[in-house]
């Protein structure tokens, strides 16, 4: 029961890119740069005109856009799921 519930929540947090709930963080991306050749997932460093440097993390291919997340949430709201599968979705 708990494996199913936790698995559902983990997958939903991952594809919705919920900050603090996913394992795809800045440290994982730094490791990705040293162990993987997928350049589009590496941290992108930019230098601004005022000399400030920023690091941005591009979204992975499995992350849904804002419109798709909204559509999924509306779909889930319409359906009744057993408590053991998806409790406290709000």
The pLDDT value recorded for residue 4 is 61
27-83 pLDDT tens trace: 888 888 888 888 888 888 888 888 888 887 888 888 888 898 899 888 878 877 776
Domain boundaries in the chain? 1-20+63-90, 25-59
Read off the pLDDT band of 10 (50, 70, 90). confident
Q: Rounded CA gap, 59 and 41, in Å?
A: 7
Q: Kindly tell me if the per-residue pLDDT of 89 is higher than 70.
A: no
The pLDDT value recorded for residue 86 is 59
pTM score, whole prediction: 0.55
Q: Rounded CA gap, 42 and 31, in Å?
A: 9
């Amino acid at each position: 029961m708990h494996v199913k519930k936790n698995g559902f929540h983990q997958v939903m947090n991952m594809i919705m890119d919920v900050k603090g709930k996913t394992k795809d963080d800045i440290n994982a991306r730094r490791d990705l740069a040293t162990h993987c050749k997928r350049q589009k997932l590496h941290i992108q460093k930019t230098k601004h005109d005022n000399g400030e440097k920023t690091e941005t993390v591009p979204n992975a291919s499995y992350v849904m856009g804002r419109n798709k997340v909204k559509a999924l949430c509306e779909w889930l709201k319409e359906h009744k799921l057993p408590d053991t599968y998806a409790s406290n979705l709000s």
